[in-house]
Structure 1
Amino acid sequence: MPAAGRVARVVIDSPLPQLDHLFDYLVPEELAEQAKPGVRVRVPLRSAGRVADGFLVGLGDPDDAFDGALSPLEAVVSPVPVLTPEVWALARRLADRSAGTASDILRLAVPPRMVRVEKAWLAARREGGDADPVSASAPTTVPVRGYGARALEDAVAAGRRIALTAIPGLTRLPDGAWVGEWSVTLAALALDVWSGGRTAIIAVPDHRDLDQLAASLAAIAPPRAVVRADAGQANADRYRGFLDALGGPRIIIGNRSVVYAPAERLGLIAIWEDSDPLHSEPLSPYVHTRDAALVRQELEGCALVVSGHIRSVEAQRLVEVGWLSEVGPERAVTPRVVLTAAQQASEPAVRAARIPSTAWRTAKDALSGDSGRPRGPVLVQVARPGYAPLVACANCARAAHCTNCRGPLGQTRAGAVPSCGVCGRLATEWRCEHCEHERFRIVTVGSGRTAEELGRAFPGTRVVLADGDHPVLRVGAAPALVVATRGAEPIAEGGYQAVLLLDGERMLAREDLRVAEDCLRWWSSAAGLAAPGAPTVLVGVSGPIARDFATGRLAPFAHQELVERRELRFPPAVRLASVTGVEQAVREVIAAVDPILLIDVLGPATVSDDRGRDLVRAVLRFEYARGAEVAAAVRAAVVRNATRRRRAPAGRSGYRPAPTLRVRFDDPDVL
Structure 2
Amino acid sequence: MRAQVKASQARARETRARKAAEAEPATVDPVARVLVDVPLAHLDRTFDYAVPAAMADAAVPGARVKVRFAGQDVDGYVLERAATSDHPGRLAPLRRAVSAEPVLAPEVAALAGELARRYAGTRSDVLRLAIPARHATTEKRPSPPVDEGPPYDASAAEAAWAGHEPGAAYLRHLAEGGSPRAVWAAAPATDWALLLAHAVAATAASGRGALVCVPDGKDVARVDAALTAVLGPDRHVALTADVGPARRYADFLAVRRGARRIVVGTRAAAFAPVHDLGLVVVWDDGDDLHAEPRAPYPHTRETLLLRAEREGAAALVGGFVRTVEGEYLLRTGWAHELAADRASRRAVTVTVVDEGDARSRGGRIPHDVHVLVRDALAAGPVLVQTPRLGYVNALACERCRTPARCPACTGPLALTGPTTPPSCRWCGTAADRWACPECGHRGLRAPVLGDARTAEELGRSLPGTTVRTSSGERVLATVGAAPQVVVATPGAEPVAEGGYAAVVLLDTWLLLSRIDLRAEEEALRRWANAAALARPGGRVAAVGDPAHPALQALVRWDPAGFAARETTQRMEAHLPPASRLATITGEPGAVDDAVTLLDAPPGAEVLGPVEVGPPDDQESRVVVRVPRAHGAGLSAALLELQRVRSSRKLDAVRIQVDPPTL
TM-score normalised to structure 2 length = 0.89
2:39 maps to a residue whose letter is P
User: Aligned in 2, Cα 1:222/1:338: closer, same or farther, shift over 3 Å?
Assistant: closer
Q: 2:235 aligns with which of 225, 247, 252?
A: 225
Q: Does structure 2 retain, via aligned residues, the 8 Å contact 1:576–1:665? A: yes
Instruction: Please say if 1:265 is aligned against 2:279.
Output: no
Counterpart contact for 1:339–1:541, Cα < 8 Å: no
Superposed, 1:542-581 pairs within 5 Å as 542=546, 543-581=548-586
Task: Tell me the residue number matched to 2:12.
Answer: none
Letter in 1 for 2:238: R
Q: Deviations along 1:55-93, whole A, 9 cap, x unmatched?
A: 10111221x421111111111101100000000000000
How far residue 273 of structure 1 moved from its aligned partner, in angstroms, is: 0.3
Looking at structure 2, the residues matched to 5 and 119 of structure 1 have their Cα atoms a distance apart, in angstroms, of 26
Structure 2 SS opposite 1:526: helix
Deviation at 1:591, TM superposition (A): 3.9
The secondary structure found in structure 2 opposite 1:533 is strand
| Distance (whole Å) between structure 1 residues aligned to residue 213 and residue 615 of structure 2 | 32
Shift of 1:397: 3.1
**Alpha-carbon offset, residue 610 of structure 1:** 8.6
**Residue 53 of structure 2 is aligned to residue 29 of structure 1:** yes
Q: Is this contact kept in 2: 1:350–1:356, CA < 8 A?
A: no
- Residue 452 of structure 1: how far off its partner (Å): 1.3
Q: Could you tell me whether the CA contact under 8 Å between 2:130 and 2:272 is conserved in 1?
A: yes
**Corresponding residue for residue 22 of structure 2:** none
Name the residue aligned to 2:98: 77
* Alpha-carbon separation, structure 2, partners of 1:117 and 1:517: 44
Partner of 2:263: 252
Specify the alignment match of 1:312 in structure 2.
323
How far apart are the structure 2 equivalents of 1:565 and 1:497? 37
The match for 1:8 among 32, 40, 65 is 32
Tell me what 1:50 maps to. 72
Report the counterpart of residue 168 of structure 1 in structure 2.
Answer: 188
- Cα deviation, residue 290, structure 1: 0.7
Q: 1:232 to 1:418 in 2, by over 3 A?
A: farther
Q: Which amino acid aligns with 2:189?
A: G
- Paired letter, 2:510: R
Of the candidates 146, 149, 157, which is equivalent to residue 134 of structure 1? 146
Whether 1:665 and 2:653 are equivalent positions in the alignment is no
Are residue 365 (structure 1) and residue 370 (structure 2) matched?
no
- What does residue 608 of structure 1 align with? 613
Q: In structure 2, how many angstroms separate the alpha carbons of the residues matched to 1:149 and 1:561?
A: 26
Over 3 Å counting, the alpha-carbon distance change for 1:599 and 1:468 in structure 2 is same
SS at match of 1:244: helix
1:607 CA displacement: 2.8
- Match 1:89 to one of 110, 114, 126: 110
1:482 aligned to 2:474?
no
Q: Distance in 1 between matches of 2:468 and 2:280?
A: 37
Residue of 582, 586, 610 corresponding to 2:591: 586
Q: In 1, distance between residues paired with 2:275 and 2:409?
A: 53
Residues 443-452 or 331-340, more deviating: 331-340
State the match for 2:403 in structure 1: 399
**Residue aligned with 2:231, SS:** coil
| Contact map agreement 1:336 1:550 (CA 8 A) in 2 | no
1:296 is paired with a residue whose SS is helix
Q: Compare 575-584 and 109-118 and name the one that shifted more.
A: 575-584
- Decide whether aligned partners of structure 1 residues 407 and 229 sit closer, same or farther in structure 2, where only a CA change above 3 A counts: farther
Q: Is the 8 A contact 1:339 1:540 kept in 2?
A: no
Asked if structure 2 preserves the Cα contact closer than 8 Å seen for 1:379 and 1:500, the reply is: yes
SS state at 1:468 partner: coil
**How far apart are the structure 1 equivalents of 2:287 and 2:447?**
28
Matched, 1:113 2:134: yes
CA contact (8 A) 2:553 2:562 kept: yes
Mapped contact 1:309–1:521 kept (Cα < 8 A): yes
- Aligned with residue 278 of structure 1, among 261, 284, 289: 289
State which of 323, 327, 337 in structure 1 corresponds to 2:338. 327
For residues 53 and 660 of structure 1, the distance between their equivalents in structure 2, rounded to whole angstroms, comes to 23
Compute the displacement of 1:425 (Å): 4.4
Residue 443 of structure 1, CA deviation: 2.5
The amino acid that maps onto 1:92 is G
Q: Equivalent of 2:498, from 494, 500, 503?
A: 494
Give distance in 2, aligned partners of 1:330 and 1:544: 21
Aligned equivalents of 1:433, 1:480: Cα separation in 2: 43
Contact 2:348-2:535 within 8 A present in 1 as well: no
Q: CA separation in 2, counterparts of 1:348 and 1:460?
A: 24
Partner SS for 2:380: coil
| Amino acid across the alignment from 1:61 | A
1:652 matched residue in structure 2: none
* Residues 1:198 and 1:596: Cα distance change in structure 2 (over 3 Å): closer
Give the match's secondary structure for 2:247: helix
Rounded to whole Å, the distance in 1 between the matches of 2:58 and 2:358 is 78
- Asked if structure 2 preserves the Cα contact closer than 8 Å seen for 1:448 and 1:465, the reply is yes
CA distance in 1: counterparts of 2:371 and 2:241, whole angstroms: 42
Question: SS state of the match for residue 620, structure 2?
Answer: strand
Residue type matched to 1:164 in 2? Answer: W
User: Is the aligned partner of 1:339 residue 2:363?
Assistant: no
Distance (Å, rounded) in 2 between the aligned partners of 1:225 and 1:405: 57
1:536 shift after superposition: 0.6
The equivalent of 1:507 in structure 2 is: 511
Q: Aligned AA for 1:636?
A: E
Structure-1 separation of matches of 2:276 and 2:352:
52
Residue 255 of structure 1 and its aligned partner are, at CA, apart by: 0.4
- The structural deviation recorded for 1:109 is 0.4
Judged with a 3 Å threshold, the aligned counterparts in structure 2 of structure 1 residues 433 and 155 are, in CA distance, closer, same or farther, namely farther
What's the CA shift for 1:506?
Answer: 1.7
CA separation of 1:85 and 1:610: change in aligned 2, threshold 3 A? farther
Cα separation, 2, equivalents of 1:202 and 1:350: 48
SS of the residue corresponding to residue 537 of structure 2 reads coil
Deviation for aligned residue 1:186: 0.5
How far has the Cα of 1:379 moved from its partner?
A: 1.2
Aligned counterparts of 1:471 and 1:348: Cα–Cα separation in 2:
29
1:152 paired to 2:153: no
**How many equivalent pairs are there?**
627
Out of 641, 652, 666, the residue aligned to residue 645 of structure 2 is: 641
For 2:594 and 2:466, how far apart are their aligned partners in 1?
Answer: 59
Tell me what 2:157 maps to: 143
Secondary structure of 2:234's counterpart equals: helix
Change (3 A) 1:415 1:80: same
CA–CA distance in 2 between the matches of 1:310 and 1:536?
Answer: 16
Q: CA deviation at 1:362?
A: 1.2
Alpha-carbon separation, structure 1, partners of 2:187 and 2:500: 17
In the alignment, structure 1 segments of 5+ residues that lack a partner are 126-131, 171-180, 369-374, 647-658
Counterpart residue identity of residue 316, structure 2: V
Give the counterpart letter for 1:522 in structure 2: R
CA distance in 1: counterparts of 2:60 and 2:407, whole angstroms = 62
The equivalent residue for 2:529 is 525
Q: In the alignment, which residue of structure 2 is the partner of 1:243?
A: 253
Instruction: State the partner residue of 2:119.
Output: 98
| Cα RMSD after superposing both structures | 2.4
Tell me what 1:536 maps to: 540
Note if 1:291 corresponds to 2:281: no
SS of the residue corresponding to residue 531 of structure 1 reads strand
Deviation at residue 554 of structure 1 after TM alignment: 1.0
| Whole-Å separation in 1 of the counterparts to 2:523 and 2:333 | 27
User: Aligned partners of 2:524, 2:424: CA distance in 1, in Å?
Assistant: 31
Does residue 356 (structure 1) correspond to residue 366 (structure 2)? The answer is yes
1:349 is displaced (CA, Å) by 6.5
Between 402-411 and 155-164, report the one with greater CA deviation.
402-411
Q: Residues of 2 paired with 1:561 and 1:455: CA distance?
A: 39
Residues 1:453 and 1:98: Cα distance change in structure 2 (over 3 Å)? same
Amino acid paired to 2:181: R
Q: TM-score, normalised by structure 1?
A: 0.88
Residues 1:33 and 1:498: Cα distance change in structure 2 (over 3 Å): same
Residue ranges of structure 2 left out of the alignment (5+ in a row): 1-24
2: CA distance, partners of 1:27 / 1:423: 59
Q: 1:492 to 1:25 in 2, by over 3 A?
A: same
